[in-house]
Structure 1
Amino acid sequence: MILEVIATCMEDAITAELNGADRLELITAITEGGLTPGIGLVEQAVRSVGIPVFVMVRPHSRSFVYSDHDISTMAAEIRAIAAAGAAGVVLGALTSDGGIDEQALQTLLPLTNGMQVTFHRAFDELEDQIAGLRTLAKYPQITRVLTSAGPGPAPESVSAMQRLVREARGGALNILAGSGLKPHGIKTFIEQTGVTEVHFGSAVRYGNNSLSPIDPVILQALSNSLRYSDSK
């Protein structure tokens, strides 16, 4: 089981690694769903931790529909993130009619320079997620989809998550379940859905507050729980 944890600063990144995170999603503006962090933070995180650092590439929080200027900004950010040595980027783009923006992907993905790509929760705005998954599977750079399997929290979409896991099985895409997951119910959720990767943000922070620091006690307990389940 892979445990991905959101980091918004160096303290988060270090605490997450020390307490069992397998991978970081590095972002800023957590209350807006995550935007691209400054390149200084990216460089420092990559130098300072040993676990993979995946960096959000999202120029604004208005929508997931991007102009040519936005795409140019994202392209510049991807180049800088690749040069910093990050393991991956987290991105997504939709068309004005609610589909996956393949033109944007065809512009951006060749710039990833060997990094893995997570397609983020723009995916959860798609009406037909199975069709969306099949579209994303055409792009070898995309290795996972971060999703709650619908517009609501992941624990409310168990059946839909099961369908996505079944659809992805045997292919190159992994389903990374996120949004609304809690440590106390995670083992049941994993058993019900079959996911092999989970994503945590506010639920491993003090007071479940997205603006608070990561709570090492909560994160370590979650990590230990997931590893105990793997060993059974």
Structure 2
Amino acid sequence: MIKEACVESFFEAKQAQDNGANRIELCSDLANDGLTPDFETMKKACSELDIPVMVMARPRAGNFVHSADEVEEMKAAIDQAKEAGAAGVVFGLLTPHNNIDEANTRLLAEYAEPLPVTFHKAIDELDDPVEGVRILKTIPNIKRILSSGGKATALEGQEVIRKMIAEAEGKITILVAGKVSHENVVEIQQITGTTELHGRRIVGDLSS
């Protein structure tokens, strides 16, 4: 089981590592579901931690429909992640019609190489997250999809998560999120069958 801790500071990242996290998702502003962290935090986390750091590339709060200018901002965030020594990047883009933005996702996934990409919980905005998996598995360099199965919690979304894992056919890892904590992580792993889980409290409460 891989436990990815979602953090918004170096202090939290170090605490999560010390508590047994296997990987970090580094963001800023988790009150708004996570934005791009600043470059200094990226560099410190990537250089001083012993576990992989995935860097969020999200230029603003709100929806996941991004303009051409915002896509350029995401490219800049990816450049910073590469320079900092990140293990991968995390982003998600949708169209105004609430579908996967295939064109810009392909563009950014290619731009991110050789860093692997996690498509984040934007997928949970879709009417059918399983269809989202069908699309994303055709895009090179999308290695993971972060999802709670379109529901508020992984427990509520477990049926859809299992369908997403089946649809992924082993080509993409479904990284299960949605109120995953150190108290329920084993249960959620068992009922979904996933190998990777993600949460703010996945290795205990973090105090920033």
Is the 8 Å Cα contact of residues 125 and 151 (structure 1) preserved in structure 2? no
Is the 8 Å Cα contact of residues 32 and 62 (structure 2) preserved in structure 1? no
Letter paired with 2:31? T
Q: Tell me by how many angstroms 1:37 deviates.
A: 0.3
Q: Partner residue of 1:54?
A: 54
Query: What percent of counterpart residues are identical?
Result: 36
Work out whether 1:66 is the aligned partner of 2:66.
Answer: yes
Work out whether 1:97 is the aligned partner of 2:91.
Answer: no
Q: Tell me by how many angstroms 1:140 deviates.
A: 2.3
Rounded Cα–Cα distance in structure 2 between residues aligned with 1:31 and 1:126:
22
Q: Tell me by how many angstroms 1:52 deviates.
A: 0.6
Q: Partner residue of 1:180?
A: 179
Is the 8 Å Cα contact of residues 125 and 150 (structure 1) preserved in structure 2? yes
**1:30-179 → structure 2 map (5 Å cutoff):** 30-169=30-169, 171-179=170-178
Counterpart pick for 2:207 among 210, 213, 219: 213
Rounded Cα–Cα distance in structure 2 between residues aligned with 1:137 and 1:3:
22
Letter paired with 1:27? C
Deviation string, structure 1 residues 97-124 (Cα, Å, up to 9, x no partner)? 0000011113212221311110000000
Q: Partner residue of 2:193?
A: 194
Letter paired with 1:62? G
Rounded Cα–Cα distance in structure 2 between residues aligned with 1:141 and 1:203:
26
Rounded Cα–Cα distance in structure 2 between residues aligned with 1:151 and 1:96:
21
- Stretch deviating more after TM superposition (156-165 or 41-50): 156-165
Rounded Cα–Cα distance in structure 1 between residues aligned with 2:190 and 2:36:
33
Letter paired with 1:106? R
Point out the structure with the larger helix share: 1
Structure 1: state its 5+ residue gaps. Answer: 207-211, 215-232
- Find the structure with the greater CA-based Rg: 1
Deviation string, structure 1 residues 53-90 (Cα, Å, up to 9, x no partner)? 00000001121001111111111111121122101000
> Normalising by the residue count of structure 1, what TM-score does the alignment of the two structures yield?
0.85
